[in-house]
Amino acid sequence: MAVVQIGEIVEVAKGKLISGDSSIWLASYSIDSRTLKPGDLFFAIQGAHHDGHQFVAEALRRGAKGAIISREVELPRELISANLIMVRNTHQALMELATHFRRKWKVEVVGVTGSSGKTTTKEIIFALLRGDYKVKRTPGNYNNLYGLPLGMLSLEEKDEVFVGEMGISEPGEMEKLIKIAQPNVGVITNVNPVHMEFFSSVEEIAVEKGKLLESLSGERVAIVNSDDPWTAKAMARFKGKIIPFGIKNSSDIMGKDIAWKELEGGSFTVVVNKGEEEKLFIPLVGLYNLYNALAAIAVACYFKVPLAAIRERLARYKGMPMRSRVLRFKEGFTLIDDSYNSNPRALELVLDYFKSLTTKGRKIVISGDMLELGEWSEEAHREAGRLIGNGGIDLLIGVGNLSRKSLEEAQKAGMPPASLVHFPDSSQVGPFLSSLIREKDLILVKGSRAMKMELIVEYLKKHFNLEGD
């Protein structure tokens, strides 16, 4: 963690210490009083739904060493001598502190963006580099203007590489993330129609993501998906070293001889710079995860990690919860938990994979609404229904108002009405599903983050028995 005295934080944040001791050392940071650990510095962030100033006393009682605030807070008598730093804007102070440590420590920063696959790619990069470098990364899905600076505050002087996930949901966000991370290497996994409520076109999304490449410093290395039609737009203004990856178009990091072992993962041969080859295994499902792995391999090769080490580390990678995680139950059915998020292209890819699987039972798709698609929304859900309804799926459960459009199109495509079920929200799906699950059934759960599709998975885990438990 970034170890610093309160006095330095006051200076960087352009604030004022209104109580406490400027010589106190701090080494960890939090914006959430619920997950705060003893010793953290608490940032009282004022968001759209919650104001962190209401939780300052709670944070201090839980062991926070101090708090950064932007207005006065009432504290009980026993806390009035706590370390409190007054600033104009607590979120700005968080970002400025992260930027300060980015400049202070001479670390190589890899910025990862894309419409899907960012978190998995970031985690695989971390797994491939950590045996050769002292590396940190943004935790979990921390990829926005709160998560990225918190992740960067984990940096220490000894660290050599930081892998930062950089997610955007509206124009202008990338420039703010860039100012914090100041990346040297930029990775674009893909560009797809997401957050269309805030962007006028996919091209605008590509241009926004392309700002990551334009901003690169140092050697300026761009790692891009050569099979994605929109990455050319993202690279339009980039002048630096380009390392393309893919399986169709000629690339510096090329995947070939791909063979999937159903729900176990896939083997493939990676070809580096059209020369050196290595047979690899990825313990993740779906072609989309192969692309994520190739992006990570490209980063590892740039950092000169030997292919033999890449082979060993990739084979040991365990994957992330809620991202195409395969869950096998002792009752004989299998679930693919892809509940973290959804968009039209991501749903299409996981459906292609799901339909290719063999099972003696039924194939059940539980599809939640895909949000933030703007005027694309209705047609995107209708197209999803057509994809699901054109064969290979035995039962479709739609969750949310928009999913009604998917059910309508699935019926038009040939699915009988008895195979189509709708629920307004995810809380009711688990009990229903539990009553009809059979041995050998194969289930896919996917939907946007706000649909809370993970509730379905958690219900099944609670009422059935996972293998390995």
Contact 368, 403 (CB under 8 A): yes
- Could you tell me if 194 and 73 lie in one domain? no
| Residues 90, 95, 96, 98, CA torsion sign | positive
Number of domains comprising the chain: 3
Say if residue 433 is in the same domain as residue 306: no
The answer to whether the CB of 250 falls within 8 A of the CB of 226 is yes
Which H helix or E strand runs over 165?
strand 161-165
* 100: in domain: no
Backbone angles phi, psi at 278, to 5 degrees: -150, 135
* pLDDT reported for residue 140: 86
By the 10 Å C-beta count (0-12 exposed, 13-18 middle, 19+ buried), 115 is classed as buried
> Is 353 inside a domain boundary?
yes
- Is the distance from CB of 162 to CB of 104 less than 8 angstroms? no
- 400 plus 371 within the same structural domain: yes
Reference 165, options 143, 150, 149; nearest CA is: 143
Task: Return d(Cα 309, Cα 327) in angstroms, integer.
Answer: 28
The per-residue pLDDT for 165 is 97
Do both 151 and 263 map to the same domain? yes
Q: Are residues 156 and 266 in the same domain?
A: yes
Q: Where are the alpha helices (DSSP H) in 215-306?
A: 231-234, 287-302
Q: What is the pTM of this model?
A: 0.94
Q: What is the pLDDT at residue 49?
A: 85
Torsional sign, CA 8, 9, 14, 18: negative
pLDDT in tens, the chain (469 residues): 678 999 999 999 999 999 999 999 999 999 999 999 999 999 999 988 889 999 999 999 999 999 999 999 999 999 999 999 999 999 999 999 999 999 888 899 999 999 999 999 999 999 999 999 999 999 988 899 999 999 999 999 899 999 999 999 999 999 999 999 999 999 999 999 999 899 999 999 999 999 999 999 888 999 999 999 998 888 888 989 999 999 999 999 999 999 999 899 999 999 999 899 999 999 999 999 999 999 999 999 999 999 999 999 999 999 999 999 999 999 999 999 999 999 999 999 999 999 999 999 999 999 999 999 999 999 999 999 999 999 999 999 999 999 999 999 999 999 999 999 999 999 999 999 999 999 999 999 999 999 999 999 999 999 999 998 7
| Residue 48 pLDDT | 82
Spatial separation of the C-alpha atoms in residues 70 and 34, rounded to whole Å: 20
Q: How far apart are CA 292 and CA 119, in angstroms?
A: 9
Domain shared by 442 and 360, yes or no: yes
Tokens representing residue 17 in the block: 């210490």
CB atoms within 10 A of CB 145: 16
Has residue 99 been placed in a domain? no
> d(Cα 72, Cα 289) in Å, to the nearest integer?
48
- Residue 297: domain span: 105-316
Q: Which DSSP letter does residue 134 get?
A: -
Q: Residue 327 is inside which H or E element, if any?
A: strand 325-328
Domain final position from 292, 316, 340 = 316
Asked whether residue 329 falls in the same domain as residue 312, the answer is: no
- Say what the pLDDT of residue 351 is: 97
Tell me if 435 is assigned to some domain: yes
